[in-house]
Chain A
Amino acid sequence: MKIIKNLIDKTKPQFEKGGKYEKWLPVYESFETFFFVPKKVTSTGAHIRDAIDMKRSMILVVVSLLPALLFGMWNVGELYYMSIGETTSILESFWQGFLQVLPLIVVSYGVGLGLEFVFVYIRGHEINEGFLVTGMLIPLIVPVDIPLWMLAVATAFSVLIGKEAFGGTGMNIVNPALLTRAFLFFAYPAKMSGNTVWIKDIGQNPQLVDGFTGETILGQKVNMVTEAYSGFVNNKLSMLDMFIGNYAGSVGETSTIAILIGAAILLYTGIASYRIMISVFAGGYLMGLLLNAVAPEGNVLLSTPALEHLLIGGFAFGAVFMATDPVTASQTNRGKWIYGFLIGVFAILIRTVNPAYPEGMMLAILFMNVFAPLIDHYIVQANIKARLRRAKINMIQSDSENN
């Protein structure tokens, strides 16, 4: 601690006004504030400030992602060993998964933060911590077998076009992590769906065990499989198994229980909106029930039980970590209920009636991101109208009193 402090004290003058590297000051400060919360004191307004800041809040979101990440690593390793017919301990599976997921994290953070720093230099303001979360979300919502260069291109696309083009964190319209996924989904569909992407090397693995298929549950349902399984057709999944989440899918999306632990952290600390989370699940569940009621005989997707819909695919992950992104969600409390509910409804609708896009959650959230300002507009207009009405009533009353 002393060493870093001394280093900062020694080098800082070169970056300050008039110094040799004056233009690099924002970049330098971004690093400095990582080590030391600045000594800046209040000068106007309230003399005391809450201990929270953007770094703390973003780190808390990352912490809440850890259960899903750790489970995802184990799941990836476990499925890998299952695909080559080995049985291993939890730790070995976890280690294998760790080695497979780590490159995704490194690439996502490396590319994203690198670009962020470029913009810190260009714009001359301190770094915004938003990418700390985005960079952790991206590896969790892609298949583990995605080529790293694709991930790098997609991350760069979402940071540049999705965020910095609008002015950086706080100004973006759609969720940057989901934009990354959408980019991959439409640019490289072969690497984002099917039965050969969810498990490492499954496409060209000579050791692959006969009868193993690496489809997601949603993929199975599209192919008219009525009872979900993991890896082997006779390895059936009960509702509880789906809740725990040992089956193929994007790295962090499979375990509903791990996601709910994260949700508990977010809700307890008050960082994420309970309104959005509850209403997404409610919307999805009700839509599921409705579709069950009208489902024609033999349509597997439409007749999937409503509760099962909430457990499979990216629904829970999207509801807890994606829909609740405060920048792209509706900003008014009432709006949040509507916004979340519609995400749930659309996610299930897209998932079931358009089998080409079984991952309806991603599209539903992106769609509602774009509509969130419209929802807010109507909510705020209602407030404005109520205020005008109150003024009018008041005027009429005072007029009649005067007469």
Chain B
Amino acid sequence: MSKVTHIKKGLKINLQGKPERIFHQLPLAEKVAVKPTDFVGLKPKLSVKEGDTVLAGDALFYDKYNPDIIFTSPVSGTVELINRGERRKILEVVVKTENDTIEYKKFNIPEINRNNRDAIKKSLLESGLWPCIIQRPYACIANPQDTPKAIFISTFDTAPLAPDYTFLISEYKSEFLKGVEVLNQLTDGTTHINIFQETRANNPFQAAKNTQINYFSGKHPAGNVGVQIHHLDPINKGDIVWTVKPQDVVLIGRFFEKSIFDARKIITLSGNVKKPYYFKTILGTSISSMLNNQITSKKEQRIISGNVLTGTQVNETGYVSFYDTQISVIDEGNYPEFLGWINPGFNKFSFYRSFFSWLQPDREFKIDTNYHGGERPFVFTGQYERVLPMNIYPIHLLKSILVNDIDKMEQLGIFEVAEEDFALCEFICPSKIEIQSIIRQGLDTIKKEFS
């Protein structure tokens, strides 16, 4: 059974610098890092100290509240540096690679069938692949004790400058299918593979066995797994579902094929760069290994691990985040603009037809990081709904979070959302309200309340 869901609401943000469909092999980076800050709500405890030598697959740190969840090194080498921030919070664990080669720790692989579920979970935990599995509600690392109602894999990304997974996964097709087979053993329910309707023909994902294939069409956020879950099988209080990103499925599949934690993955470079390609590199690679002479603009640039709506800001000495498949480079917008609010705005991108840029709808825009205004109270209504394809009242939900009313949050559907689903609301907000932070604050409150 496969049906097509048309997502009518949303917004396509057409940015300059889409990745070209060219694979480019990068040499192994000199340094690779795993960042505890990539994982929502994680309290890391170190398993190594500076100077230790590790193999790929050796633990670097683990979750203080759930010591079974460990985070392993994607490469072999020496732990060079443990970067700490305020109050000695661990920011990065940096591993220095040696001689351009990776030595792997060998793991024992259990047989893949449902009776073996606990053994499969154990292997995923030991190899450091468990954090690839994200649970809803709360959009955090899944709890290994749970059995999810269903597993959802969104095989396309509609965010600005996002990589084309159909193209990307064509490199790793068998590993992807193996990964789906493994994940399928972890639920008694259905594994959903969600495919973009326009790429239906010749799609590598369709071959996944024992799964439910669903087709989606529409603008961003149609590719967000949260939106897809909402339309397929909405989350109720008490439900737990898991989600995995396509490249993480590949990592899981490869682990079960090769018995090693081989963390090679493809990361795209997009935005203001010379060669916006698909780079074959490794999990947690250093930004400098990717941005080698790529930035030519004289303006100050912002480097984002992830997409421009939900990614994290990194600098040139930083590292790609655990879950991210793209690096976006855009102009910083730290300049004042004279009478900007009255400017006809032929080159300003807006969701509203309030700038003359609507005269050229297909144009690719360059958007910088300027706020384009000051923060105000909620004034306009009915606008968030136009980019949030969920049966949820966004303003009411946000206000219930702001007043910390747990019952109301629950009633208004906080279990169904994650901050990424509200990223477009934040983008179009004329009052410049930090909506994603508010949603995260609400999720954290609820999580604390129910755990």
Using a CB–CB cutoff of 8 Å, the interface residues on chain A facing chain B are: 1, 4-5, 33, 35-42, 44-57, 59-60, 126, 128-130, 167-171, 268-271, 273, 275, 326-327, 329, 331-333, 336, 376, 380, 383-384, 386-388, 390-391, 394-395
Tell whether, in the assembled complex, residue B330 and residue A55 are in contact, meaning their CB atoms are under 8 Å apart. Answer: no
- Within the complex, the shortest CB–CB distance from A316 to chain B, in Å, comes to 21
Tell whether, in the assembled complex, residue B340 and residue A37 are in contact, meaning their CB atoms are under 8 Å apart. Answer: yes
For the A-B complex with A39-B333, A52-B373 known, give 14 more contacts whose Cβ atoms are closer than 8 Å.
A35-B339, A41-B368, A41-B370, A47-B309, A47-B313, A50-B429, A59-B342, A170-B431, A171-B377, A270-B383, A271-B380, A331-B396, A332-B393, A380-B396
CA distance A12 to B388 in the complex (A): 40
Given the interface pairs A130-B379, A169-B377, A380-B396, the reply to whether A36 lies near B338 with Cβ below 8 Å is: yes
Tell whether, in the assembled complex, residue B334 and residue A41 are in contact, meaning their CB atoms are under 8 Å apart. Answer: yes
Tell whether, in the assembled complex, residue A50 and residue B395 are in contact, meaning their CB atoms are under 8 Å apart. Answer: no
- Within the complex, the shortest CB–CB distance from B435 to chain A, in Å, comes to 7
Residues of chain A within 8 A (CB-CB) of B419 are 45
**Which of B45-53, B204-212, B349-357 contacts the other chain?**
B349-357
Tell whether, in the assembled complex, residue B426 and residue A46 are in contact, meaning their CB atoms are under 8 Å apart. Answer: yes
Using a CB–CB cutoff of 8 Å, the interface residues on chain B facing chain A are: 13, 160, 234, 236-239, 302, 304, 308-311, 313, 328, 330, 332-342, 345, 348-355, 357, 367-374, 376-383, 385-386, 391-393, 395-396, 411-413, 419, 423, 426-432, 434-437
Q: Which of A41, A59, A268 has the most CB of B within 10 A?
A: A41
Q: Which of A56, A168, A270 has the most CB of B within 10 A?
A: A56
Tell whether, in the assembled complex, residue A57 and residue B380 are in contact, meaning their CB atoms are under 8 Å apart. Answer: yes
Given the interface pairs A46-B436, A268-B353, the reply to whether A39 lies near B369 with Cβ below 8 Å is: no
Query: What are 27 contact pairs spanning A and B, CB under 8 A?
Result: A36-B340, A38-B371, A39-B370, A44-B434, A45-B436, A47-B302, A47-B328, A49-B370, A49-B426, A49-B427, A50-B427, A51-B348, A51-B357, A52-B352, A53-B372, A53-B373, A53-B374, A54-B379, A57-B354, A128-B376, A128-B377, A270-B352, A270-B353, A275-B382, A332-B393, A384-B412, A395-B236
Partner of A54, one of B335, B353, B431, B435: B431
5 smallest CB-CB distances across A and B, nearest first, come from: A53-B373, A170-B377, A37-B340, A391-B236, A51-B348
CA distance A4 to B236 in the complex (A): 56
A393 to chain B: closest residue by CB: B236
Tell whether, in the assembled complex, residue A1 and residue B371 are in contact, meaning their CB atoms are under 8 Å apart. Answer: no
Tell whether, in the assembled complex, residue A50 and residue B351 are in contact, meaning their CB atoms are under 8 Å apart. Answer: yes
CA distance A50 to B348 in the complex (A): 8
Given the interface pairs A45-B434, A53-B373, the reply to whether A326 lies near B311 with Cβ below 8 Å is: no
Residues of chain B within 8 A (CB-CB) of A270 are 351-354, 383, 386
Tell whether, in the assembled complex, residue A271 and residue B354 are in contact, meaning their CB atoms are under 8 Å apart. Answer: yes
Residues of chain B within 8 A (CB-CB) of A168 are 377
CA distance A46 to B421 in the complex (A): 12
- Within the complex, the shortest CB–CB distance from A325 to chain B, in Å, comes to 9
Given the interface pairs A37-B340, A48-B368, A50-B427, the reply to whether A126 lies near B354 with Cβ below 8 Å is: no
Residues of chain B within 8 A (CB-CB) of A42 are 369-371
Partner of B236, one of A54, A129, A390: A390
A37 to chain B: closest residue by CB: B340
Residues of chain B within 8 A (CB-CB) of A40 are 370-371, 374
Given the interface pairs A48-B427, A326-B382, the reply to whether A56 lies near B311 with Cβ below 8 Å is: no
B354 to chain A: closest residue by CB: A269
Given the interface pairs A51-B355, A52-B351, A53-B430, the reply to whether A45 lies near B435 with Cβ below 8 Å is: yes
Tell whether, in the assembled complex, residue A39 and residue B334 are in contact, meaning their CB atoms are under 8 Å apart. Answer: yes
CA distance A54 to B383 in the complex (A): 13
Tell whether, in the assembled complex, residue B308 and residue A46 are in contact, meaning their CB atoms are under 8 Å apart. Answer: yes
Residues of chain B within 8 A (CB-CB) of A380 are 393, 396, 412
Tell whether, in the assembled complex, residue B382 and residue A273 are in contact, meaning their CB atoms are under 8 Å apart. Answer: yes
Residues of chain A within 8 A (CB-CB) of B313 are 47
CA distance A395 to B149 in the complex (A): 12
